[in-house]
Chain A
Amino acid sequence: MNRGTHPHRLALPAGILVAVAFVAPMAWMFLASFKSIEGIFSLPPRWIPDFTYVDNYTKLLSQNWVFLVNSIIVTLGATLLCMVLSLPAAFGLVNFKFRGREFLADWILSTRMMPPIAAGVPLYIIFNTIGLLDTVWALIVVYAGFNIPFAVWVSMSFFRRVPRETIEAAMLEGCSWAQIFTKVALPLTRSGIATVATFVFIFAWNELLLALFLTTRAAKTFPVVISSFVTNSMTFWEMIAASSVIQAIPPIIFTLLMQRHIVSGLTMGAVKD
């Protein structure tokens, strides 16, 4: 039987096949980013490009670096705002006993069902009225809000692991809730909070639909720019290849760093890994 430390002899080749199936398409785009327009679609294909050819990247970034900066500002700002709002709420929902606590937690979770498309037009009108349309502020505010249900719900599962006795001991020493939160709960749940923040970061980094609604020129994010390389008349493949590689770097790094927490993160704690 193929158990224990000696897997079936076909297991490793099969595993390699699976990994190739998932990596090869991405690798093909990565290789394309080092090819000229002619090389991208040459037949027969040019398998290995000249890696010193970086014109696509220099052309892309010289014209669009502003939008990459937008993306970074929006993503970091939204992640920070989302955590500042969500962590105290999650802590409160775990530690305070009050009537309607369960209902409030369920209500927060249920707002995740809200499809972004149902908020696009109202948010457009609101931000247009207050003059924040096409600013990074609008996207920071919106992305932070849309990730609150996720951040609260998953953070709650981490705050629940803080031992009761620790909190009671702090209370007996006369600590206020604010002190318990900042001096006891946050340090004890550091790694969990980092995981939550990373997810919020990636969700915000990947978002397209609301960015299409809320930005027109100045505040465009990188995904909006990438999607604009596909036009009705032609598709700028060399730009798409280079921008896709840049866009994929943060998700790839974070996926490799926190793969242990991906299942519990994406199922909002419903499945432990």
Chain B
Amino acid sequence: MEHASGFVLPNSGHNRDAEASKMGMWLFLFTELLLFGGLFIVYMVYRMINHEAFLLSSFELDVTMGTINTVVLLVSSMTIAMSITAIQKGNIKLSVNLLYATLAAAIIFMVIKYFEWSSKIHHGLFPGMDYYESLPKGEGLFFYLYFFMTGLHALHIIIGAVIIGVVIYRTKKGLVTSEKYTLTENAGLYWHLVDLIWIYLFPLFYLIH
């Protein structure tokens, strides 16, 4: 890094631009929104065509588990937002602990998801299983979309958890400070996006009867 002459090339990684970083993160989030947006449109169309079947199938889902997961994600959104406040105020330890809390919420979410999916799979509702194949077309579509959309969302939870792990590691190493916390902010933005998508998934699959 250190040049003998003290000469530093422009854009050689020595200059940070927090605003550009954040803008990049937002642009990425927009692509994510449109990815899920497309799936929501698919859901809407199939729901219009198979209204009764979707209604019937939605009663199969466990509203209690869905509600608990919603609360878990909302609380985790708060803890990561607070973690940014903590790092801005220079409280590294609190920031890391709040990140751990967020990570714990991600794990709780996945454990609940695991139990939900296992009970559905136990009933043979996963696409390709015998019982699934015997279902009327509309109900099959509901469960196909349920597994695909909550599965894609769960994948985002896992990616988010890994990102939070990286932020914890780098904060502990002293690479994230009260002056330089773009990483925490961007991880927060990603985590909030995961929460936003669940806010729509939850009523669409569990609640709309």
Do A and B belong to a common assembly? Answer: no
